[in-house]
Structures are given as structure tokens and as C-alpha cells.
A = this chain, B = another copy of it.
């Protein structure tokens, strides 16, 4: 196994005593702070009897543990912290904002916290977007709402302009809550900051409703998304069973990774076909989806199909070619499949009672479930601990049940995808009893 570089960059040595009063007796309290030399093993599967050099194995696989440090880098009462949310909505955004504000204010005594409005657009002076001062009272109940109180957007001004604004605001730390593209931006900002010789910590909290960020086993909002998607599948199942040869088709998020679809299928067991970007499928022919749906309807009189938005992109391309229309709407797998299935059913002289459900915006805008809320709360709190200790260019992540620091550069190097040979997909195949012949993998 190659060595993965989990080394975390810091702004400088930590010389200030943390104000966190962890325990009455200092000797006991010591146990609760985290030392920089505490590491979490990354790859923890071991093949007994194999000839790996286990010492190297362990040494090459160490992630820095998150948590409060006894010595911190920033003087709390000098700190001005910024928070920004970017990209599409995701359950839990307000929970993370709230946790960051509460931890800064209550644990460290920071009193200047500024919310940037509407993502990176809020760093563009031309947009004239006002900043929003934050404190525990303002964020007190925001976790009961979906969305983000700061607003969000895609894109933004040049990296230079962003850093200019950060400098002008005199921020010491910026918490960047966003997905892959956003964290790329955060990395460039951090590099520009370094170039200018500034001491500003850039801490990312990865936001991906698709759960597709690398070196992070579960992203916040993902569980809530699955819980909401379950409702859509129940509706599709109910509609399918309510009609002669009824077909329910649900499209869920998942541009490059089928995690939402797979988890939703396992949580409901109502989906008979699960289509994800990682596993190609055929539409026509004896091994195709259409034939499999026919078989299912003959035996069970109803069928439910759950498709991730990134699935079947090869089918869309080829059909675009033959169609020669260049119609962007054909790029949408949901309506494409719906049309194909209805066309096919009509062609063979069978009922085509298909109901198509796209719950995407209702999923994105949901408030976090309690378990997700708790997770957001811990991610936000630990992001603050990292920033106060002068860490930078890292994401707060969870790996093997531990909160860790992951270098942004590493995390955004490639997407996390579902392993078609792994236990999750195996359980999906088992649950759906989808014909294996349908897939090419």
C-alpha cells in the first residue's frame, strides 16, 4: 500500500492556554484534550496470513484526530471569525453554523463572528451583500429549519477578490461549508493567503448530500436525505400498487455516486430496481431494464424503480446522438426513463401506469433529523477546535467512528464512489432481487 499523506498544515506554534475548563482537576482534564500525536488508523481491514509489512501498514495510515488542544494558536478575544455556506442546499447547514457560533462564543469567548451572505458571492464587493453578525441568540433555534440562514450560491469572484475581502474584514479564520467545488475554492484561498503571508485559518466542513467526498465516511445531511427519499419511495410504491401494472419511478440525488439510492433501497426494501452511476445497465434487449420490468409486472403486478440522477448517462448520450436535438432536458435520466418505459409498455400492448416522482428540492430543504443534527453539532464544534489551534487547509471529517482532520487537497483529489463489489451494493442486490444479468459490472 502506498503512503497517503495525511499531514496537516498549521499556521504556527500553539502557545496560548485553551480557555476550556475541561475538568475540576487539571491532571484529569489533561485526558480530555487531544494531542497532535493521537492518530486514527485509516485502513483497518487486515488479511490474516498475508505477507504485508504491518509496521509500514500502520505507519502509512494515520489521520490526525480532531478535538480541543490544550495549547491554542489564536488569542480568543482577538479573533474575528467568518462563516460561509456555498452550493446547493443540504439538511444540517444551519446546525453546523449554530455549532460553530456556539463553540466560538461559549467555549472560547470569541465575540466577533461574521456570516458571509450567499456563498462566495458575498465576498464580491460588487454584489453589495451585507454581512450578518452572528451570536448564540441569533442562531438559537435555526437548527429547526432547513436551508441556511446565510444564503448560498454557486460561483463567485476571483480568488484575489475573495482574499481581498477576507483581509479587509480582518478575519483570522474562515469556516467554509460546502462541497467539492467549494473546497477547491477554499484551497486556492488558503494558498493565496499563504502567498500574502497572512495568518488566517481556512477550515472546511464538507457538505455533500450525495455523500461523495473522499476520506469521509458519512457527510452531514446524508441520513436526512435518505429519510426524505424514503417518503418518496413509499409514495411510488403506494401508487404502483394502486394501479393495474403500476410503475413507480423515483429520481434521487447522486451525480457521481449512488449512495442515497442504495441506502434508501435498504431502508425501505420497496424498490425493485436501483440504478446508480457506478453500475452500468442496459435498457433494451433480454438483459435490459425494460424486459426486467415486464417480468416483474407479470409476476408481481407492480414495480418500483429508484434512479440516481447520474445513472445511465451513457444511455442519454447515445439517445441524444440518434435524436440529434441537443435538447438539454434529455440529459435528465428521470423523464427519459419514464418516457422510454411508457413507450415500451405501449408498444407491447400493456398498461403504462407510470408515476414519476422527483423529490429533490424537498429533500435538500428538509431540516436535519436528530441524529444528523447531533453529527452537525460535533462537526461544527471540532471545526472550531481546529481553527483555534491554527490548523488550516483541512476538512473536519469522520473516519472509522472518529472525528479527524483531512487535508483539503487530499479530500478533493477524487470522488468517493460506491464499490460495486462491496458489502453495501451486495446488500442492495440481495434486497431488491434485481436480476444480475441486467448489470455489466
Whether the pair A39, B45 counts as a contact (CB closer than 8 A) is yes
Given A58-B46, A244-B121, are A365 and B436 also a contact pair (CB < 8 Å)? Answer: no
Mark interface residues in A408-441 (1 if CB within 8 Å of B CB, else 0).
Answer: 0000000000000111001101110100110101
A-B contact pairs, 24 of them (CB 8 A): A23-B436, A24-B436, A28-B421, A32-B426, A41-B44, A41-B45, A45-B65, A68-B426, A106-B433, A118-B244, A146-B235, A146-B238, A153-B243, A235-B366, A236-B365, A239-B361, A266-B377, A266-B378, A268-B370, A357-B362, A371-B371, A400-B401, A401-B401, A403-B423
Verify if A114 is at the interface (C-beta below 8 Å from B). Answer: no
Say yes or no: A38 contacts B44, CB within 8 Å: no
CB <8 Å contact, A427 and B377: yes
Residues in B neighbouring A439, C-beta threshold 8 A: 24
A129-173 interface with B by 8 A CB criterion: 129, 141, 143-148, 151-153
Q: For A239, what are the chain B residues with a Cβ–Cβ distance below 8 Å?
A: 89, 147, 361, 364-365
Known contacts A38-B47, A362-B357, A400-B44; A118/B243 CB under 8 A: yes
Chain B residues with CB under 8 A of A39: 45-48
Which of A76-84, A226-234, A289-297, A306-314 forms contacts with chain B? Answer: A226-234
For residue A373, CB closer than 8 A to chain B, the reply is yes
Contact present for B361 and A430 (CB under 8 Å): no
Give bound CA distance, A403 to B103, whole Å. Answer: 34
A272 within 8 A of B: no
Q: Are A223 and B423 in contact (CB under 8 A)?
A: no
Q: Is the CB of B441 within 8 A of A226?
A: no
Number of copies: 4
A283 at the interface (CB under 8 A from B): no
Interface centre among A143, A151, A236, A244 (most CB of B within 10 A): A244
A151 and B44 form a contact (CB under 8 A):
no
CA distance A240 to B310 in the complex (A): 25
The answer, yes or no, to whether A348 is at the interface (CB within 8 Å) is no
Smallest distance from the beta carbon of A57 to chain B beta carbons, Å? Answer: 8
- Cα A23 to Cα B231 in complex, Å, equals 30
| Set B44, B103, B147, B264: member contacting A242, Cβ < 8 A | B147
Residues on the B chain within 8 Å of A141, using CB: 145
Complex contact A147–B267 (CB within 8 A) = no
When chains A and B are docked, how far (Å) is the Cα of A232 from the Cα of B360? 11
In the bound complex, residues from chain B placing their C-beta under 8 Å from that of A32 are: 421-423, 426
Task: Tell me the bound Cα distance from A48 to B38 in angstroms.
Answer: 6
Q: Is the CB of A144 within 8 A of B146?
A: no
Interface flags for A363-379 (1: CB within 8 Å of B; 0: not) read 01110011101100110
Interface centre among A127, A235, A439 (most CB of B within 10 A): A235
Among B44, B223, B244, the residue within 8 A (CB) of A40 is B44
* Residues of chain B lying within 8 A (CB to CB) of residue A147: 238-239, 241-242
Contacts of A264 on B, CB cut-off 8 Å? 370
Query: B residues within 8 A CB of A129?
Result: 244
In the complex, whether A402 has a CB less than 8 A from a CB of chain B is yes
Given known contacts A23-B436, A41-B44, A361 and B235 CB-to-CB distance under 8 angstroms:
yes
Are the CB atoms of B266 and A89 closer together than 8 Å? no
Whether A22 is near chain B, meaning CB under 8 Å from some CB there, is: yes
Residues of B near A127 (CB, < 8 A) are 244
Establish whether residues B67 and A369, one from each chain, have CB atoms under 8 Å apart when the complex forms. no
> 1/0 contact trace for A25-46 toward B, CB 8 Å?
0001001101101111100111
- Asked whether A430 lies within 8 Å of B107 as measured between CB atoms, the reply is yes
Q: How far is the CA of A358 from the CA of B107 in the complex (A)?
A: 31
Chain B residues contacting A267 (CB-CB under 8 Å) are 370-371, 373-374, 377
Instruction: Give the distance in Å from the alpha carbon of A361 to the alpha carbon of B44 in the complex.
Output: 39
A70 interfacial by beta-carbon distance below 8 Å? no
Tell me the nearest residue of chain B to A64, going by C-beta.
Answer: B48
Q: Are B234 and A146 in contact (CB under 8 A)?
A: yes
Complex CA gap A217/B38 in Å reads: 20
CB < 8 Å: which of B242, B377, B402, B421 contacts A269?
B377
Return the chain B residue nearest A378 by Cβ: B427
